[in-house]
Chains A and B, each alone.
Chain A
Amino acid sequence: MEFIKPNIDLNFVGNRGKAFIISGLLILMTIASLFIHGGPNYGIDFAGGILVQVRFAEPTDATDIKKALAPLGMEQSMVQGFGEKKNNEFLIRNEKKDLNLQGLSDRVRQTLAKTYGQGKVEVRRVEMVGPKVGKDLREKALLAIFYAIILIAVYISGRFEQKWGLAALMAGVLVGATLLVQALIVAMGGDEGIAMVLLILTALVVTVGACWLLKLRYALGAIVALIHDVVITVGVFSLLDKEFTLATVAALLTIIGYSLNDTIIVYDRIRENLKRAGKQSLDVTINASINQTLSRTILTSGTTLIVLLCLFVLGGGVIEDFALALLVGVVVGTYSSVFVASPVLLLLPEGRPMALRRSAPAKAAPVRPEPMEAQPVPAQVSSGKAAGAARQKRSKKKSRRKGKRR
C-alpha cells in the first residue's frame, strides 16, 4: 500500500512564502489570544490554589455545589462536570490568592458532607498548591523549556555542522549570561517571576540571533521550528481556554523532541542529497528532500496521531488535556518540519549562493539519493543472483566508508 506516490513532487519550498504567512498568522493568533486572556490560563500547579474532584451519590449541579461551599468563602469557585454525566462527578477549582490552604481539603470535604450527607460525597482527588510552590514550578517549567532548546541547539550544531565547540561555547555563554542577569535583576529588587519570563524570551531571541551570526544554519532552522511549534501549541491552548498545568509543560517538552525528530529526518536527507547535488540550486535540493521523506513524515505522524487520539478519547479526564496538547503539537510539528524548518535554511544569505539562477523548483527533477549506476529497472527482472550479490557488496563497501567518515 502506498499513500504517497514515490515520484511525488510538490512544491513546498516554492510556496514557502504562503507557509510563512500562515505561520505568522498563527503566531499572531497566539499573541492576540494571550493578550485577550491576560496571559496563559495557569492551572493551580502554577497559579496556586486548590482543585478537588468529587463524586456525589446523587445528581447535583454546579450552582448547588457553589452554594454548599459558601461557608468556606469558596462560592466563587469554578465548578465543572467531569467525565460522564451519570457519574455525578465534578471538578471544583479555586485560585483565590488569600485562601487559607492549611487543612483546606479537609474543610471542603466536611462542608460538602454537611450539605449532601455523610457518605454521599467521595473526594477522589485533591490538588493543593501554595502560591510559593506555584511560582517555583512556573520558573522551573520555563527553565526546562529553555534548557531543552539550548541543549538541542548544541546537539544539532555539533552533529550537523561539526561545530561542537562553537555551539557549546554559545550555550555556555547564554546560560551564564541568563543566570547573571537574573541574579542582577533579583538583587536590584525586581520581581523574580517576570524577570525569568523576560530573560528566557530574550535568551531565545539571542539564541536565534547567535545561530544566524555563527551561521549555524541547521540549528537555526530547528530552533525556529521548535519555537514555532511551542508557541502555536500554547496559542491553541489559550484559544480553547485550556489550563496550563505541569502536564501541559511535559507535553510541550515532548513536542520539542518530537518536532525535532521530524525536522532532523528531513535535514539528514538534505545533507545526503547536498553531497551529490552538484550545481543544483539549494532550494531544489531541499524541496526534493522534503518530497522524498514525505511518505515517512505522513506515516509516522499518522501512527502517532492514531495512538494520541485513542489516549484523548479513551484515556479519561485526568489525561485529556495532556493528550490534546500532544495532538496539537504533533500536527503543528509535522507541518513545521515540512513548511518551516527546511525553508528557513534558505533564509541565511549564504544559504543560497545558487539561488540567483534559480529555475522553478517545482519543475526540477527531484534528486534521488543515488542517481547511481542502475537504471530504474523493475526489481524482479534485474534481481539475478549474481547481480544482486555484486550490488550488495558494493553498497556494503559504501556504507562502511560512510561509517568511517562519520
Chain B
Amino acid sequence: MPKNFFLKSTLVAAVIILALLFLVPTLGGGKLPAWWTNTLPSDQIRLGLDLQGGMHLILEVETQKAVTASVERSSQELQRKIREDNIRAIRPQSGKDNTISLVLLHNSDRAKMEDLVKRDYPDYTVASSRTLDDGKIQMVLQLTAKAAKHIAEQASTQALETIRNRVDQFGVSEPEILPQSEGRILIQLPGVKDPQRAVALIGKTAQLQFKLVDDSVSPSTVTKATLPPGDEILDMYRRDHASGRVDKEPIVVHRRVAMTGATITDARVQMDSQYNQPYVSVAFDSAGARQFADITTRNVKKRLAIILDGKVQSAPVIQEPITGGEARISGDFTMEEARDLAVVLRSGALPAPVRILEERTVGPSLGQDSIDQGLLSMVVGFCLVVAFILLYYRLAGVFANLALLLNLVIISGALAAFQATLTLPGIAGIILTIGMAVDANVLIFERVREEIRMGKTPFAAVEAGYGKATLTILDANITTLIAALVLFQFGTGPIRGFAVTLSIGIASSLFTAITFTRLLFDLYLHQFRPRRLLI
C-alpha cells in the first residue's frame, strides 16, 4: 500500500461524505423525511437577494433632526420652568446649532437663570449672556456636544428597533436589519412581494401630534405678518373621492404640541359605518389617557388637529371630554393605507426621519432567470473543460476531472454548511473556480510529463511532479486568496458572495487537485503498476 494511504483515503472519504450530507437538503428541495431533518443537516443553500428576488435598502437616520426636536422640546419646557421660578423673560426660542436663546427682562434674574440651567438642564451650558442696550439680558444656551451625540445615538438605536418592529409586522421571512456606521441601517428583505409598500412602511416617520386649532384667525386670509405669536400654518389634506384628487387647505394651529403619539399602546383599523370609511383607532396607556382626557375636558367645542408627520389628517371638534383613553384618526384612507398606518403607529414613531440612500430590488422572475442562466453557463463551461482535459491528459485527465467534480460538490456542500449566501457573482465565482482549479492539476501534470521525458518511471515522475508543484500551487493560490479576502472586506451583498465562493473554491481546489488526485494516482500505480503513464 502507498504511504499514508489509509489516512489519506479516510480523509478524502470523510470530506466527500460530509459534503454530500450537507448538499442533500438543497437537492431534496425541502422534502426530506423527518428522521433526516431531525438528526442530519437540513439547511439549504441560501440564495442571495439577486437570485431569489428581494430588496436591499440602506437608510440614513437624520439624527440631527432628532437633536433639533429635543432642543425644541427643551425650550418649550424651559418656558414653563421660567414661569415657575418667577424669572421674567421673553419666550425662549430654539435656534441654530442646538441653541436656545432667551431674553431676561431684569439683570437680577441672571444668577437665578444660571442656577436653573445648572440644576435642571445639565445637558446645556450658558454659551453667552450679554447686556443689551435697554438693560435686558440676552442669554444663549448651548446643548453640549456630548449630549447631542448621545441623543443622536439614541435616535439611531430607537430607529433600528422601530424598523425591526415594523418589518416583523410586515411579514417577510428572514429579514435582516443591521446597524451600519454613521447612523445608517441596512435592511434586506428577501422575497418581498410589494417593495414599494415596504419602503413606505419602513420609511414613514409616523410622528403623531395633537395640536389645538386657533379658530380666532381665518386660515384663508392670514399671512406671516398677521399670524398670532405661537401659532403656525399647516396644510390639511383632503381627497376627493369622486375624482381621487388630493386637495390641501391651510389651517392655523397653536405651535405648542398638546400631546404626542408616544403613549400609544395599540392601533387598529376600524370601519366608520356612516361613511363606509376606514379609520384608525388608537389606545393610550394610562398616563396618555389622563393627558388626553385633560386636553379634551379643557377644550370642549374647540377643534383638535391630528397631525401625522407634519400633515394635518383631520381636525375634528371636541364634542365632549374623551376619558376612555382612545382617539380616532380619520382622514380619507384607503383600507391598505389605514392598515399600514396602524402598523406604524403600533410600532412607534421613528425618532427622526429616515432617508433612503440606496435601494436595490430584484424581482423574483429576474432572480429565477439569473439562476437558470448561471447554472446553464456553469454546466456548459464544466463540460467543455472536462472534455478538453480528458483529450489532453487522457487517464490523468480522468483523475483531474473527478477532482473537478468533487470540487463542485465540496463548494456546494460548504456553502450549505456555512450558510454562506450564494449570489449571481457567486455563481460566476464557482464558474471561474472550475477554470482555475484545473490549474493545479495542469501544473502537476506538466511537471510529471517533464519528469517522464527525463526518463523517470511513472512512480518517480508522479512523486517528483507532486513534490515540486505543490509549493508553487500554494504560492499562486494564496495571492488569489488575498485578493478574495480584500474583496470580502470591500464588497456588499452580491460581491461578497463572489468573494466567498472564490475563497471556498480555492481552498477546496487545493484539496481536490493535490490530495485527491494524488490518491487516485497512488491507487492506480500500485494496482496496475503501469510501465508508462497515460498523461
Contacts and interface: CB of A to CB of B under 8 A. Distances in A.
B377 interface: yes
Interface string B468-510: 1001100111111111101101111011001100100000000
Nearest to A389: B459
A252 B489 CA distance: 15
A306 B359 contact: no
B490 to A, nearest CB: 4
Interface string B344-356: 0000000000011
A144 B489 contact: yes
Contacts of A70: none
B50 interface: yes
Interface string A381-406: 01101011101100110110010001
Interface stretch (B81-89, B113-121, B383-391, B407-415): B383-391
B483 A253 contact: yes
B391 A1 contact: yes
Contact of B486 (A253, A293, A388): A253
B164 interface: no
> Among the interface residues A126, A383, A385, A398, which one has the most CB atoms of the partner chain B within 10 A?
A383
B464 to A, nearest CB: 5
B480 A132 contact: no
A303 B428 CA distance: 14
Given A313-B377, A372-B454, A383-B531, A144 B363 contact: no
Nearest to A130: B357
B442 A299 contact: yes
A308 B435 contact: yes
Given A307-B381, A314-B377, A260 B480 contact: yes
Interface string B420-449: 000011001001101110110011001001
Chain B, interface residues (CB within 8 Å), range: 35 or more
> Among the interface residues B384, B435, B442, which one has the most CB atoms of the partner chain A within 10 A?
B435
A348 interface: no
B169 to A, nearest CB: 21
B486 A133 contact: no
A152 B370 CA distance: 33
Given A133-B357, A316-B373, A268 B475 contact: yes
Contacts of A127: 359-361
Contacts of A256: 483
Interface stretch (A23-31, A98-106, A176-184, A357-365): A98-106
Given A125-B361, A126-B359, A307-B381, A388 B392 contact: no
A378 to B, nearest CB: 7
Interface string A352-383: 00000000000000001110101111111011
B58 interface: yes
B532 A379 contact: yes
A132 B357 contact: yes
A306 B389 CA distance: 12
A379 B457 contact: yes
Given A53-B366, A377-B455, A130 B495 contact: no
Contact of A395 (B203, B463, B490): B463
A302 interface: yes
Contact of B472 (A133, A254, A264, A380): A264
A261 B437 CA distance: 12
A127 B374 CA distance: 21
Contacts of B385: 303, 306-307
B377 A392 contact: no
Contacts of A392: 457, 459-460, 463
> Among the interface residues B378, B381, B460, B489, which one has the most CB atoms of the partner chain A within 10 A?
B460
Interface in A127-186: 127-130, 132-133, 140-141, 143-144, 147-148, 151-152, 155-156, 159
A316 B367 CA distance: 11
Interface stretch (A12-20, A189-197, A319-327): A319-327
Contact of B365 (A124, A132, A308): A124
B362 interface: yes
A278 to B, nearest CB: 19
B174 interface: no
B192 to A, nearest CB: 12
A298 B314 CA distance: 75
B460 A395 contact: yes
A215 interface: no
A296 B446 contact: yes
Contacts of B436: 258, 261, 300, 303-304
B196 interface: yes
Given A128-B358, A250-B491, A372-B454, A148 B477 contact: no
A203 interface: no
Given A128-B356, A155-B479, A375-B455, A306 B472 contact: no
B199 interface: yes
Contacts of B482: 148, 151-152, 155, 257
A316 B370 contact: yes
Contacts of B392: 1, 299
A379 B455 contact: yes
A105 B363 CA distance: 13
B437 to A, nearest CB: 9
Interface in A55-78: none
B11 interface: no
A300 B477 contact: no
B358 A130 contact: yes
Given A103-B199, A124-B362, A265-B443, A318 B532 contact: no
Interface in B202-232: 203
B452 interface: yes
B435 A6 contact: no
A148 B482 CA distance: 7
B376 interface: yes
> Among the interface residues B195, B355, B363, B439, which one has the most CB atoms of the partner chain A within 10 A?
B439
A242 interface: no
B456 A374 contact: yes
> Among the interface residues A143, A261, A385, A399, which one has the most CB atoms of the partner chain B within 10 A?
A261
A351 interface: no
A227 interface: no
B380 interface: yes
A187 B455 CA distance: 68
Interface string A273-291: 0000000000000000000
Contacts of A272: 468
Contact of A144 (B361, B453, B460, B486): B486
B458 interface: yes
B199 to A, nearest CB: 7
Contacts of B479: 152, 155-156, 257, 260-261, 264
Contacts of B442: 296, 299-300, 303
B358 A395 contact: no
A141 B532 CA distance: 52
> Among the interface residues A101, A268, A314, A376, which one has the most CB atoms of the partner chain B within 10 A?
A314
Contact of B458 (A102, A148, A295, A383): A383
28 contacts: A128-B360, A130-B355, A130-B357, A143-B490, A155-B482, A156-B479, A249-B495, A250-B487, A261-B477, A261-B479, A262-B476, A265-B475, A269-B472, A299-B446, A300-B443, A304-B436, A308-B431, A311-B428, A315-B373, A315-B377, A372-B454, A374-B455, A379-B452, A382-B455, A387-B457, A392-B457, A395-B464, A399-B467
Given A260-B480, A264-B475, A264-B476, 12 more contacts: A103-B196, A124-B366, A125-B363, A130-B355, A133-B58, A148-B487, A293-B446, A299-B438, A307-B435, A308-B431, A308-B432, A388-B456
Interface of B: 50, 58, 195-196, 199-200, 203, 355-363, 365-366, 369-370, 373-374, 376-378, 380-382, 384-385, 388-389, 391-394, 424-425, 428, 431-432, 434-436, 438-439, 442-443, 446, 449-450, 452-461, 463-464, 467-468, 471-472, 475-484, 486-487, 489-492, 494-495, 498-499, 502, 531-532
9 closest A-B pairs (Cβ-Cβ)? A257-B483, A388-B457, A144-B490, A257-B480, A304-B435, A307-B381, A316-B373, A399-B467, A310-B381
